Amino acid sequence: KQEVTQIPAALSVPEGENLVLNCSFTDSAIYNLQWFRQDPGKGLTSLLLIQSSQREQTSGRLNASLDKSSGRSTLYIAASQPGDSATYLCAVRGYGQNFVFGPGTRLSVLP
Amino acid sequence: NAGVTQTPKFQVLKTGQSMTLQCAQDMNHEYMSWYRQDPGMGLRLIHYSVGAGITDQGEVPNGYNVSRSTTEDFPLRLLSAAPSQTSVYFCASSSDGINYGYTFGSGTRLTVV
């Protein structure tokens, strides 16, 4: 059974710092991995989708990498801003087609 | 282009009542699913569908029913609400099972008293 973990559970950084969020999964037989952002009381917003054949994806200040063989993905946020404060979730899609979600990392960016 | 629309946004039910959470998407996605999100438990899959007329159980299906009569709609029915079903419910859809990611609705916050 696929299990997804995220480290750290919570992170607080001053504005302007670069930061890395980590996602680990136990079964490397995946189609893709998706990073989401969730604001308090809101739904999930897709940030980046990485296919299993890709190594990384970039969108603006966000860069996500995937090392399928080691079961790891990282989300790099450059020059963090208070507006980046949210919970970040990763989800992996295995051969059973369903996404399995990690518990999330709660990020606070302090002005 | 509305994406994934969930109604209602908030609902309070009494124990034993039944209700239907609505989910509709206008992206012609084949794959749709329902998750519940609870503090400390993360997102857990309730039911999913790979196309009209096809549904299957996820991780926590007990107490819930689904049907998929059209590509657009995927309602979730609570048969006899229990306090343990107090949660935030999310509907999501995807174009296929391999190449595309999920698009989520904004959620339904359900309280069972």
The proportion of chain A whose per-residue pLDDT surpasses 70, expressed as a percent, equals: 98
Nearest beta carbon to residue A43 from set B33, B100, B105:
B105
pLDDT at B74: 98
pLDDT at A101 (0 to 100):
94
**Confidence (pLDDT) at B113:** 97
Write the CA distances from B97 to A81, A91, A97, B29, B93, integer angstroms: 34, 13, 5, 10, 10
What average pLDDT does this structure show over B78-92? 96
Per-residue confidence (pLDDT) for residue B2, from 0 to 100: 73
| The pLDDT value given to residue A97 | 66
Q: At B56, list the tokens.
A: 């299957």
Q: Which residue pairs, CB below 8 angstroms and at least 24 apart, start in B60-63?
A: B60/B36
**Farthest-apart Cα atoms in chain A, separation:** 43
The tokens for B76 are: 């979730």
pLDDT at position A17, please?
A: 97
Percent of chain B with pLDDT over 70: 97
* Average pLDDT of the residues of chain B: 94
Cis peptide before A8 (omega within 30 of 0): yes
Give the residue ranges of chain A where pLDDT is below 50: none
Handedness of CA B30, A54, B104, B84 (dihedral sign): positive
Query: Shortest CA distance to A67 belongs to which of A99, A97, A92?
Result: A92
**Chain B contact residues (CB < 8 Å to A):** 31, 33, 35, 40, 42-43, 45, 48, 50, 58, 90, 92, 97-107
The predicted-structure confidence for B29-82, as pLDDT tens digits, reads as follows 999 999 999 988 889 999 999 999 999 999 999 999 999 999 999 999 999 999
Closest CB to B98 among A31, A36, A46? A31
Q: Enumerate residues 6+ apart whose C-beta is below 8 A from A6.
A: A21, A22, A23, A24, A88, A89, A90, A102, A103, A104, A105
Q: What is the DSSP string of chain B?
A: ---EEEE-SEEEE-TT--EEEEEEESS--SEEEEEEEETTTEEEEEEEEEETTEEEE-SS-TTEEE--SSSSB--EEESS--GGG-EEEEEEEES-SSS---EE---EEEEE-
Decide if pLDDT at B83 tops 70: yes
For position B97, what pLDDT does the model report?
61
Contact between B107 and A42 using a beta-carbon 8 Å cutoff: yes
- Asked if A97 lies within 8 A of B97 by C-beta distance, the reply is yes
Interface test with A, best of B23, B27, B41, B43 (most A CBs within 10 A): B43
pLDDT confidence of residue B1 = 61
Per-residue pLDDT reduced to its tens digit, A91-101: 999 876 688 99
Which residue of A46, A89, A104 is in closest CB contact with B101?
Answer: A46
